[in-house]
């Protein structure tokens, strides 16, 4: 999987009462406007490179097969969501529009 993004781990940093997402080289990636979920949103953005790596690994492991249902969760739906997320992140699909 190849992602066209800032390499390395990202971090969420509170600077001047605003959350900023910074690269491992301390370059600014994004700023999160003040709001009721600003810290949670910043932290979610900061871990997104790690999450897409994990999800990509999962997609590679499952291949074309679907996980089994467990009575509460649909294995096929989860696998489809994982595959779509990786495809969007790698630019193979466009973001779904409402």
With beta carbons less than 8 A apart as the criterion, state whether 30 and 15 touch: no
* Residue length of the chain: 98
pTM: 0.77
What is residue 34's predicted lDDT score, i.e. its pLDDT? Answer: 86
Mean pLDDT in residue range 91-98: 74
Rounded CA separation 57/61 (Å): 6
Query: By percentage, how much of the chain surpasses pLDDT 90?
Result: 58
Contact 47, 40 (CB under 8 A): no
Question: Tell me: the pLDDT tens digits for 61-77?
Answer: 998 899 899 888 899 99
First to last CA, the chain: 27
What are the sequence ranges of the domains in the chain? 11-89
């Amino acid at each position: 999987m190849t992602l066209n993004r800032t390499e390395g781990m990202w971090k969420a940093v509170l600077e001047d009462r605003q959350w900023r997402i910074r690269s491992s080289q301390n370059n600014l990636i994004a700023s999160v406007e003040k709001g009721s979920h600003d810290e949670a949103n910043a932290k979610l953005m900061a871990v997104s490179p790690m999450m897409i790596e994990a999800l990509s690994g999962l997609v590679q492991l499952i291949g074309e097969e679907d996980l089994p249902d467990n009575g509460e969760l649909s294995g096929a739906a989860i696998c489809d969501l994982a595959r779509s997320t990786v495809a969007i992140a790698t630019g193979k699909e466009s973001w779904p529009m409402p």
